[in-house]
Structure 1
Amino acid sequence: MSKVNEVVKTKDGYSLHIVKTDKYKTNTLVWRMKSPLKAEEVTLRGLLPHVLQSSSRKYPSTTALRSYLDELYGANFFVDLAKKGEYHVMSFSVEVANEKFLKDSEPLLKKGLQFLADVVFDPNVEKGSFHEETVAKEKRNQKVRIQSVFDDKMRYANSRLVEEMCKGEAYALHPNGTLEDVEKSTAASLFNYYQEAIQKDELDLYIIGDVDAEEAEKMCEEIFSLQNREAEKADASNANTASEVNEFIEKQDVKQGKLNIGYRTNVAYGSEDYWALQVFNGIFGGFSHSKLFINVREKASLAYYAASRLESHKGLMMVMSGIDAKNYDQAVTIIKEQLQAMKNGEFTDAEIQQTKAVIRNQILETIDTPRGLVEILYHNVVSGKKIQLDEWLGSIEQVSKEDITAVAQKVNMDTIYFLTGMEG
C-alpha cells in the first residue's frame, strides 16, 4: 500500500524522478528549482515564477498560454514558492490527461513536457529583458501577496515569530520578499537573476502517472538540454541558540491575541531520532487528541485554537494559539507544563498508538494526490538523504516511549511572540 517506486536518473544538469503508478487518471509533471535563501535575491526569486507563468516566447500573452492548455484537454498549470529549511524552492506543475484514456491518442505527455520547457527555458524576453508590462503586473500581484500576510493575523504572527527567532539566519526571510525590494525590481534585474538561477539552481523533474518510464526518459532527453552544475548548498551552521527565552509583545488593532512560541528541536529530517520527534509532536500538539488541544483549549478554555507543527529541515517546532490578552500568563504556563510532561514521559501507550495511526493516515492521505507525493519525495532532495516511504512508515511504527521521552529532552523553548490588542 505504501510502496512507491521512484526511479531517479541523473541527467545533464538535473535529476529525473519517475514514479510509475496507475493510481491517477492524469500524468503530473513537476519542475523544481532549489537555491539557498539569500536576502539580496529573495524578492526577485519570489517574483520570478509568476512572471514565467504569465507568458513565454511561444505564448506571448496569458490568454495565448491558457488557451494552449485548453487545447491539451484542459491541462492544469500552476506555480508555487516555498521555504524548506534554508532553501527557497520554485515549483512549476503541469497536469495533463493520460492519453490512454482518450479516443484519439494525442502525445499529451510529450506536449506537457515541451510546454514546461517552453515556460521555464524560453521566456517572453525583449532586448535582453523580461516583457515590461508582464513584470509590472506581477509586481502589483506580489505586493498584494506580501500585504495579505499582514492582513491575516494568524500568518502574520507566525511570520513575525520566525523573524525574531531566526534573526540573522536565512530562514528569517519571507519567501515572497519585501515590499521595498519589489518596488526596486526591474524587468532587466529580474531577467539577470533568472539567467543566474537557470545556471546555478539544483533542478529536479518529477513525472508521476501511468507512463512508460523508458519512453518518458527519452522524451526528456530530447526536450531538456542543460549544463551540468555543482548546486550551491545552504549554510545551516549559523543557527542562533538562545541562552534565555526571548519574549516579544506587539500591539495592533486585533480582537483576539495570537500567542506563538518557537522551539529549537535540534533534530532534522532523516536523523535517527526524527521519527520519535514526529510522534512527540503528534502527542504534544500536532493533532486534536494532543496535550495542547486538550489542556489549553478544552480543559482550561484558554484558547480558540492551540496546535504545534514541525519545520523538519530547520529543526524548529512552532506552537500557535489564539487567546484573550488577559489569559497570556496562564496560557504560557500551561504550554510550558505540557512540554515538561512530555519530558517526564507523562503520556500513555494509547496516546502513542493513536498518534502513530494518525501520522500513518496523514502520510497515506498525502500520497493520494500526485502533488502530495512529490512533497514527500522531495524531502530527500532537500535533506540529501535517501529515505523510502515504507522505511518512513516502518520507522514511525518502531518508535518507543523511551525514544519519545529522549527526543523531548532536546526540545527547548526559544522565543515567545504575542500579538495583542491596543488596550491592556
Structure 2
Amino acid sequence: MKISKEKVYDKNGYRLHILPSKKYKTVSIVAKLKSPLKREGITERALISHVLQKATQKHPDVRSLQSALENLYGTGLSSDGTKKGENHVLSFRMEVVNETYLTNQEPILEQALQIFSDVLFDPKVDQDSFDESIVNREKQTLEQKITSIKDDKMSYANMRLIDHMCESEPYALHVHGYLEDFKDITAKTLYDYYRSMINRDLLDVYIIGDIDESEMEHLADQYFSRPSSDNSDDHQVSEPSTKREVNEIVEREEVNQGKLHIGYRTNIKFGESDYFALQVFNGLFGGFPSSKLFMNVREKHSLAYYAASRFESHKGLLLVFSGVDPKDYKQAKTIILEQMDAMESGDFTLDQVEESKEQVINQLQETMDNANGLIEVFYHQMLSGKEMPAADIMDNIRKVTKEDVINVANKIELDTIYFLTSQEGGEE
C-alpha cells in the first residue's frame, strides 16, 4: 500500500524512502540491510547488529556514544534482526526530536544522522578488527538471548515447529544464530564479515516526520551513500520440493503447560490477490478474541490456556499456537483441526466476515499510526514488489466476500503438528 506522499529514490548504493508528515512530533530514521538467509554468516549478522550500536570511531565506547545521543535531547538508537520470508534483515532505528519544536533551532537532525552514519559505516576499529572487549561482551549478551529462548516455552515450541516444518528450507535458520559458531568468531573475523556485509547487503533508508523533502534528500546522500558494489535485489524464495504427509512430532521437556503448535502452508504470499482474503480468514480463524480458535478451543471447551493464529506474509505459513494440559492433547488437536474444517465448509456468518474485515482494517490503521509500523508496511510492500495506496488496501479488504474466505481456507494445507510436553505428561 504505497501511502500517498511517500517518495522513493534510487541512490548511490542505497534506496531512500521519504515521507514528510506533520503527524509525528519526532523524526524516525530506519536503515534496513537485507541479505538471503544462509547458515554461513547468520550468527555473525546477529552479533554485528549488537556490536555496531556500542561504539564508533568518534565515540569509542558505550558511555561516549550514549552521552552523544543523550545530548541530542535523548535521541534513541536500537537494532534487531528478523526474517522476512527467506531473507535476513537487520534494522537500525533512530528517533530524534524534531528541531522545529525547539526554541534554539539547533541542527539536531543532521547531528543525529552523522551519528547514525557512523554507527553503520564508521564503527570503532583498530588494525582491521573490531574492539575485542565489545565483541566478547556482545557475544555474552547474544548467548544469553539464544539460551533464554528455551526458557520461554512458547517461543521455543514455535522455533521447534519451524525447525521441523521447514527443515530443508532457509526459513528454518535461527535469526539469532547458533552457539556453536561463537568459538570461531573473533573480533577480526567479525570485522571481515562486516566489511563484506556493509557493501553487499541491500540498504533501504526510511525517514518519516515533519521534514523538508529536498533537505532530507541532500542529508541522506551525505550520510548514507555507499561506493558502487555488487549488491543486487537477491530476494530469494524456496518452496518444499514435494507435498508431504502431515508430520506429527511430540518432544519432551520439563514444562508446566503443554505447547501444541500447528503449522499450515497457505500457498498465498504478500502482494497476491488472495492476500486480502487471507487476512480476513485469519481474523475469523484465530487472529482475534472473537475467532473460532479462541471461542471453541479456549472458551467453549476450556482446553487451552491460549489459542491463536498468525501468518507469515512472505513465506506463506499459517501458525497456530495453543497452551494445553498434556492430558488434553488429542482432544485439543482434534478441535483445532475441526476449526479449519469449519472454515473450509463456510461454517461462519456474513456478520462474522464483516466484523473480521473491520478488525483487520482497524489493526492496519493502528499499525500505520505508528511511524515504525508504517515503515514496516512500506518495507513489506517493497519486498513483494506490489505497492498500492493505503485507501486501496482498505477497499480490497472491504471487498472480501465469504466465498473468498472459503476459497482461501481450501488452499491452506496442514503440514506439521508439534507438541511440547512434560516428561510425566504425554499425549494420552
Same fold (TM > 0.5): yes
- Give per-residue Cα distances to partners, 1:298-327, cap 9 Å, x unaligned: 111100000000001000000000001111
Q: Which residue of 2 aligns with 1:45?
A: 45
Deviation at 1:106, TM superposition (A): 0.9
Question: What does residue 384 of structure 2 align with?
Answer: 383
Give the match for residue 214 of structure 1: 214
Corresponding position of 1:92: 92
TM-score normalised by L of structure 1: 0.97
Q: Specify the alignment match of 2:359 in structure 1.
A: 358
Q: Could you list the per-position Cα deviations for residues 27-84 of structure 1 after superposition, in whole angstroms to 9, with x for gaps in the alignment? A: 0111110111100111000100100011111110000000000110111111111111
User: How far did 1:232 drift?
Assistant: 4.9
Aligned partners of 1:293 and 1:306 also within 8 Å: yes
- 1:227 to partner: Cα distance: 2.6
Matches within 5 A, 1:16-415: 16-228=16-228, 229-239=230-240, 241-415=242-416
| Preserved CA contact (<8 Å) 2:56 2:124 | yes
Distance (whole Å) between structure 2 residues aligned to residue 57 and residue 115 of structure 1: 10
Give the Å deviation of 1:207.
Answer: 0.4
Contact 2:305–2:323 (Cα < 8 Å) also in 1 = yes
Which residue number in structure 2 is paired with residue 6 of structure 1? 6
- C-alpha separation between the residues in 1 aligned to 2:266 and 2:170? 18
Amino acid at match of 1:363: L
Q: Distance in 2 between matches of 1:353 and 1:232?
A: 38
Q: Which moved more, 1:373-382 or 1:244-253?
A: 373-382
Q: Equivalent residue of 2:363, what SS?
A: helix
219-228 or 301-310, which moves further after superposition? 219-228
Q: Aligned partner of 1:106: which letter? A: E
Deviation at 1:3, TM superposition (A): 5.3
Alpha-carbon contact 1:139-1:183 (below 8 Å) kept: no
How many residue pairs match? The answer is 423
Shift of 1:250: 0.6
Q: 1:242 offset after TM fit, Å? A: 4.0
CA distance in 2, matches of 1:285, 1:259: 14
Question: Alignment partner of 1:12: what SS?
Answer: coil
Contact 1:82 / 1:175 at 8 angstroms: preserved in 2? yes
Shift of 1:182: 2.4
RMSD, aligned α-carbons: 1.3
Shift of 1:394: 1.5
TM-superposed deviation, 1:138: 0.3
Question: In structure 1, how many angstroms separate the alpha carbons of the residues matched to 2:392 and 2:60?
Answer: 46
Distance 2:236 2:90 in 1: 19
- For residue 129 of structure 1, give the secondary structure of its aligned residue in structure 2: coil
- Give the drift of 1:346: 1.0
Q: CA 1:314 to 1:364, structure 2 compared with 1: closer, same or farther past 3 Å?
A: same
SS at match of 2:53: helix
5+ residue gaps, structure 2: none
Deviation at 1:222, TM superposition (A): 2.1
TM-score, normalized by length of structure 2? 0.97
Q: Given residue 402 of structure 2, which amino acid in structure 1 is its aligned partner?
A: K
Are residues 241 and 351 of structure 1, via their aligned partners in 2, closer, same or farther at CA, if it must alter by over 3 Å? farther
Is the Cα–Cα contact under 8 Å of residues 3 and 388 in structure 2 kept in the other structure? no
State whether residues 292 and 307 of structure 1, in contact with CA within 8 Å, keep that contact through their aligned partners in structure 2.
yes
What is the deviation of 1:102?
Answer: 0.2
Name the amino acid aligned to 1:194: Y
Partner Cα separation in structure 1 for residue 6 and residue 96 of structure 2: 20
